[in-house]
């Protein structure tokens, strides 16, 4: 389907060529008369025809450039949409692990005194290790896409999210090494999980715009 701005360009170009051609005809016919009116008309017609030919060539070049630029923009959006769909899938997988960790943390919220982070809660540690593993893989797999959307709102959100996951990973590793009890770090742990999950959701929301070919690079 032809876009509205393309139709406007086609009409305005055709009207502009027509007006200039007609004006050139009358300018030559009236402004530069010859003895024989027939010769004057013929000269004017030939001159305006040459003007018309040149203008149509120039107009065609303008329209072709516009159509190519329009195609390029649409092509770029299509490429981004495909990459965004892949990014959505990968980042959503991270969200699944964040959700499971939060779920297991909520399950033991009333039993904090009976748990030690380093030796129990295999579900939490297993999901956390899987989260970090796919997170690191996704950083590599999404490197080109993240570079492509640089200076966008989505790029900012991804950066914040990665910083949050990095902070979470550092905290958990320090807790494991020091064998801290849940009762000491539970609140901070689940708070980091919720913040990461929130940022993850915001990223998925932004990715939907790219997937739907909308202009989200602002």
- The residue written with tokens 């390029």 in the block is 72
Nearest 5°: phi and psi at 116?
A: -120, 135
Number of domains in the chain: 2
The answer to whether residues 128 and 64 belong to one domain is: no
User: The CATH number of the domain where 175 resides is what?
Assistant: 1.20.120
Closest of 120, 111, 210, 106 to residue 158, by C-alpha: 210
pTM: 0.62
| 112 alpha-carbon distance from chain centroid | 43
pLDDT digits (tens, 9 = 90+) for 192-205: 999 999 999 999 99
pLDDT of residue 32: 61
The answer to whether residues 109 and 160 belong to one domain is: yes
The answer to whether residues 57 and 81 belong to one domain is: no
Boundaries of domain holding 117: 72-211
* Spans of the chain, pLDDT less than 50: 118-119, 215-218
Q: What token pair was written down for 190? A: 């689940």
Of 45, 71, 97, the residue at which a domain comes to its end is: 71
Of 71, 96, 125, the residue at which a domain comes to its end is: 71
Of 37, 71, 105, the residue at which a domain comes to its end is: 71
The answer to whether residues 57 and 101 belong to one domain is: no
């Amino acid at each position: 389907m032809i876009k509205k701005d393309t139709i406007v360009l086609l009409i305005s170009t055709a009207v502009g060529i027509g007006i200039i051609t007609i004006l050139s005809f009358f300018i030559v016919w009236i402004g530069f008369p010859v003895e024989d009116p027939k010769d004057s008309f013929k000269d004017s017609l030939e001159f305006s025809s040459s003007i018309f030919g040149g203008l149509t060539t120039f107009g065609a070049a303008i329209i072709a450039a516009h159509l190519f630029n329009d195609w390029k923009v649409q092509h770029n959006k299509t490429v981004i949409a495909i990459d965004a769909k892949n990014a959505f899938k990968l980042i959503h997988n991270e969200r699944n692990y964040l959700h499971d960790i939060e779920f297991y943390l909520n399950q033991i919220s009333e039993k904090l005194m009976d748990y030690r982070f380093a030796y129990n809660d295999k579900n939490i540690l297993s999901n956390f290790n899987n989260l970090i593993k796919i997170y690191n893989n996704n950083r590599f797999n999404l490197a080109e896409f993240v570079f492509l959307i640089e200076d966008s709102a989505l790029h900012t959100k991804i950066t914040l999210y990665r910083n949050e996951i990095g902070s979470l990973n550092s905290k958990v590793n320090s807790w494991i090494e020091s064998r801290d009890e849940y009762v000491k770090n539970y609140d901070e742990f689940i708070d980091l999980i919720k913040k990461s999950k929130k940022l993850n959701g915001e990223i998925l929301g932004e990715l939907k715009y790219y997937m739907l070919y909308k202009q989200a690079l602002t």
